[in-house]
Amino acid sequence: TRYSRITGTGSYLPPRRVTNADLAADLAAKGIETSDEWIIERTGIRARHFAAPDVTSSDLGAHAARAALESAGLKAGEIDLIIVATSTPDMVFPSAACILQNKLGIAGCAAFDVQAVCSGFVYALTVADSMIKTGSANKALVIGAEVFSRILDFNDRTTCVLFGDGAGAVVLEASDTPGILATDLHADGKHVGILCVPGTVSGGAVLGDPFLKMDGQAVFKLAVGVLESAARATLAKAGKTDADIDWLIPHQANIRIMQGTAKKLKMPLDKLIVTVDEHGNTSAASIPLALDAAVRSGKIKKGDTLMLEGVGGGFTWGAVLLDF
Ligand code: ACO
């Protein structure tokens, strides 16, 4: 049997770190009140990184990809598939994946974007796993890269304090041993309105609202339940139980949602990988950023069983269970 396995991880944060106090001071200058205490208590976020105005998702993603290639011991030229999960691509088209491919100095391999907002990385990893299992690819780069700072309304305190920029990447290779054990993806488009950027480009102008809109409470209510059901579905497919999970790596949006999910899976909180405090919500980049941080800090070791879970706009959700 042919499986897929993660052989390298990498990540990249733009250097500019913005604390809650920095944001609160910027907002106060506009007469909008927020505080470090409010943001930490409601979300667990202490700081986020913002990219410089001329830096794009493909720039951040290329940095993360190079780090993942190095940790896998591969040269860019050995990659035969690039999938970028992003909702903030450099351009309407071509895809961030094509632009990133060129930045890596390679050509010829398949490259495309996957757009599933904060579930983007689990979607992209599932697609890459399927393509490897069917023999369409052997060595894939799967990247989550976002510059959500570009779509934030810095006059809306209910959203602008939540998100950050960054990128994470994995190298996924064909293997005789698993690897990815099970995947489970879902969407329900009737919830488009609770989390969206409604605008688009038309007739030479932005048509509609180009800023992120979120009904935070509606998202919150849906998130914990769907994350539990996706996680349980992967466990059932793989013939495993809660107790088999070594590390839970949920989408890093809000510490309360993450802890709620860990409780539903009966996981002690020290098995929950947390980077939301320092990264904020980086959408499709959050899971590979958290994975790479936990690998490099020595928490996650070869052979550990990981549960990756994403949830976000669409509404989309899904999980990937894997042996690292
Ligand atoms: N600073 C101070 N006060 C604020 C702020 C702020 N930054 N933002 C909102 N408030 C106020 C509100 O105006 C409200 O005041 P009011 O009671 O006078 O009306 C009060 O705080 C409480 O607001 P709520 O919205 O009820 O706060 P809640 O506890 O629900 O927290 C939050 C809001 C953090 C957004 C939460 O709902 C949440 O995390 N939701 C989930 C978001 C998420 O996980 N998204 C993931 C997917 S992201 C993606 O796919 C792109």
Active site residue 63: no
CA–centroid distance, 42 to ligand 1, in Å, is 7
**253 CA: nearest ligand 1 atom:** 44
Residue 275 pLDDT grade (very low, low, confident, very high; cuts 50, 70, 90): very high
**Hey, whose CA ends up nearest to atom 29 of ligand 1?**
42
**281 CA: nearest ligand 1 atom:** 48
Active site residue 160: no
User: Which of 117, 118, 220, 222 most suits a substitution to test ligand 1, by most atoms within 8 Å of the C-beta?
Assistant: 220
Active site residue 109: no
Confidence at residue 211, expressed as pLDDT on a 0 to 100 scale = 98
Above pLDDT 70, what percent of the chain?
100
Q: What is the rounded average pLDDT for all residues in the chain?
A: 97
The pLDDT tens digits for 240-263 are: 999 999 999 999 999 999 999 999
Which strands, in side-by-side order, build the sheet including 3-12? 3-12, 165-175, 139-147, 81-85, 110-114
The pLDDT tens digits for 81-130 are: 999 999 999 999 999 999 999 999 999 999 999 999 999 999 999 999 99
Amino acid type, 110: A
Choosing from 20, 49, 109, 118, the catalytic residue is 118
3-state secondary structure the chain: CCEEEEEEEEEECCCCEEEHHHHHHHHHCCCCCCCHHHHHHHHCCCEEECCCCCCCHHHHHHHHHHHHHHHHCCCHHHCCEEEEECCCCCCCCCCHHHHHHHHCCCCCCEEEEECCHHHHHHHHHHHHHHHHHCCCCCEEEEEEEEEHHHHCCCCCHHHHCCECEEEEEEEEEEECCCCEEEEEEEECHHHHHHEECCCEEECCEEECCCCCEECHHHHHHHHHHHHHHHHHHHHHHHCCCHHHCCEEEECCCCHHHHHHHHHHCCCCHHHECCCHHHHCECHHHHHHHHHHHHHHCCCCCCCCEEEEEEEECCCEEEEEEEEC
| Separation between Cα atoms, residue 222 and residue 118, nearest integer Å | 14
Confidence at residue 263, expressed as pLDDT on a 0 to 100 scale = 96
CA nearest to 147, candidates 71, 49, 10: 49
The pLDDT tens digits for 44-79 are: 999 999 999 999 999 999 999 999 999 999 999 999
Instruction: Check pocket membership of 117 for ligand 1, CB cut-off 6 A.
Output: yes
User: Which of 158, 159, 279 most suits a substitution to test ligand 1, by most atoms within 8 Å of the C-beta?
Assistant: 158
CA–centroid distance, 217 to ligand 1, in Å, is 7
Choosing from 160, 251, 254, 279, the catalytic residue is 251
Confidence at residue 74, expressed as pLDDT on a 0 to 100 scale = 98
Confidence at residue 193, expressed as pLDDT on a 0 to 100 scale = 96
**161 CA: nearest ligand 1 atom:** 7
- Domains of the chain in start order, with CATH, are 3-175 (3.40.47.10), 180-323 (3.40.47.10)
Residue 236 pLDDT grade (very low, low, confident, very high; cuts 50, 70, 90): very high
